Amino acid sequence: MELERKDIQGLIVSSYKHLPCAAYLLLQVKDATAARAWLARSVGDFTTAETKHPHFSTNVAFTYNGLKKLGLNQEVLATFSFPFQEGMATEHRSRILGDGNENAPSNWEWGGAQDNLVDLLLLVYARDESVLKAQLEHWQQELRGSSGGFGEPRILHAQRQPKNNPEHFGFHDGIGQPVMEGTGNKQRQLARTHHATELPAGEFLLGHANLYGATSDTPVVRPEDDPQQLLTTVPDSATALGARPGMHDLGRNGTYLVFRQLAQDVAKFWNFLDKATCDPKGKSNPSARDHLGAKFVGRRKSGAPLVLSPQQDDPRLDNENNFSYIDKDPQGFACPIGAHIRRSNPRDSLGPDPQAALNTANRHRILRRGRSYGPRLTDPLVDDGKERGLHFICLNSDIERQFEFVQQTWINNPVFGGLYEEVDPLVGNLAKGDALFTVQGEPLRARVHNLSRFVIVKGGSYFFLPSIRTLGYLANL
């Protein structure tokens, strides 16, 4: 299948690894006319999937609020997916995403309440710090004041991406990713990780065939609302529920982007592990500490999966992703059932038939595009009082079936995979400070008690990352 690369924003096919610096601008629309004018003169500046720019890239996404402020009418807004319309910060979503207590939207710095809602997200990537600075200056100039139509941006800086991408807890991250059909990323992924799960474009692009063989649901406008024919027409052959033949396709080649700012308390994490593994006299045992940390994650610090390195770290496996659970580790003796990577992608492990389980799991994959922020902690056991964490960003065509499902049915599910009363030890809803983590073993499992939150949600929103055509349409509203 040939993708319409000119029409697709670059972030969908690339995580811009060649551009290690990044910042995210969160903006509110103050003047819709000026904002549309800004969009009209900027459309050509957004990076598409066709060209790889060696110095910088920019992409843009909107919340439901943002689209509304730009002037999209209610009839059209109602054709977007339900979670996108509602937003991330509803009571029900807080329950399923684990956003209770200190993670509650009312405590968020952005996206959680009426007074800090976000309309537009600008994602800026650059080759180095000076290019990033220049780009940010350029965009801020463009966006500001009466000519741009936006308020003062909230700027979220990402940390310069080090090689091998360790997140703040110290583990090599971003190894396993599904591959979208038509991107040509399969070979690269295979070469890097020895494994690639290629999924139909409709899993990550609206208006294309998904894993059910149906066109993923897509927002539309009436033909008379698109007199200049800026959008493509939904073909008569389209039979899926979301497809409305004859209507003009606003979603095609766009996708939904989930953004969550997750602060990581690195010192709390490592001190907890230290205390849990020290000897009876209270003396630290660094190798036991690292080992338990790896059990929480499911990979060792180098990235080596526990399934393939059950005894000790093996840096040769730092990008290894070619493994499954049922043949090598059905009981969780190497990688615990509740470990973070086993929960966030259970592969073939749920259910009696491994192939069927894998097929089911693949309906719930996301493309991860997040980056760490904040300075690295020099001594992981000593807090420096600074905030650091992950700007979690993922792309999917069906927020309920993909992102929210992973979060609810896998990450935060106390009975995941036959467990009884525990959630993901890294990012799960560990609200009460008395949470459990089970390390399966022979002859008897061990249980770690009294986990509390190591990760705090600071903000978040659901965005729509439109196609280039749709950006043109929005600019012309």
Partner 1 sequence: MTHTVLTFIARVKPEKTEDLRKLLKLIQDDPEKNSCVPFRSLQLLHFASFVLHESQEYGPYLVFENNFDGLLQAYLDDLYLHASRGLHQVYSCCQDYTVTSAGDRQRLFAYLHAHVVRPNAYHIGNTGRSVKRILDEQTLRDALETRADALAQSVPPPSPSGLLGAFQNFVRSDPQFAWVSGVGPRQTFIEWFMPWVKFVAVILLVIVLLPIWLLPGIIGLLVLRFKESTDPVQSSAAKIQNVKDLVDREDRTPSVQNHMASITIVKPGWLRRLTLRVVLWAINLLARAKATHGELSGIPSIHFAHWSVIDNGRRLLFLSNFDGSWENYLDDFIDKASSGLTAVWSNTLNFPRTQFLLWGGARDGSRFKAVARDSQTVTNAWYSAYWDLTVQGIDNNSSIREDVLNPLDATATKAWLLRL
Please give the residue ranges that form the binding site for partner 1 (CB under 8 A). Answer: 78-79, 82, 85, 91-92, 95-96, 212, 214, 217, 240-242, 331, 351-352, 356, 359-360, 363, 398, 400-401, 404-405, 408-409, 413-415, 418, 420-421, 440, 442-447, 449
The least distance separating partner 1 from the CB of residue 104, rounded to whole angstroms, comes to 16
**Nearest approach, Cβ of residue 388 and partner 1 (Å):** 31
Nearest to 35 by CA among 72, 73, 75, 8: 72
Least Å from the CB of residue 241 to partner 1: 4
Nearest of 388, 439, 358, 360 to residue 159 by alpha carbon: 388
Instruction: Print burial letters for 27-40: b (CB count within 10 Å at least 16), e (below 16).
Output: bbbbbeebbbebbe
Closest to partner 1 by CB, 7 or 217 = 217
Task: State the nearest-atom distance from the C-beta of 96 to partner 1, in Å.
Answer: 5
Given a contact cutoff of 8 angstroms between Cβ atoms, the answer to whether 58 and 45 are in contact is yes
Minimum distance between the CB of residue 412 and partner 1, rounded to whole angstroms?
A: 9
Residues whose CB falls within 8 Å of the CB of residue 242, separated by 6 or more in sequence, listed in order: 215, 216, 217, 218
Q: Smallest distance, Å, CB 420 to partner 1? A: 6
Measured from the CB atom, is 53 or 445 closer to partner 1? 445
Instruction: Specify burial of residue 354 (Cβ count, 10 A radius: 0-12, 13-18, 19+).
Output: middle
Nearer to partner 1, 113 or 446 (CB): 446
CA–chain centroid gap for 118, Å, is: 17
Nearer to partner 1, 23 or 350 (CB): 350
Name the amino acid, one letter, at 9: Q
The minimum distance between CB 380 and partner 1, in angstroms, equals 26
Nearer to partner 1, 96 or 230 (CB): 96
Instruction: List 157's β-bridge partners, or say none.
Output: 23
Nearer CB in complex with partner 1: 126/350: 350
Nearer to partner 1, 54 or 418 (CB): 418
Q: Which helix (H) or strand (E) holds 394?
A: strand 389-396
- Quick one: angle between helices 266-277 and 286-297, nearest 10? 120
Q: How far is the CB of 409 from partner 1 (least distance, A)?
A: 5
Rounded distance between C-alpha atoms, residue 217 and residue 396, angstroms: 12
Which of 385/443 has CB closer to partner 1? 443
**Would you list the DSSP string of 421-436?**
S---TTTS--TTS-EE
CB–CB of 132/23 below 8 Å? yes
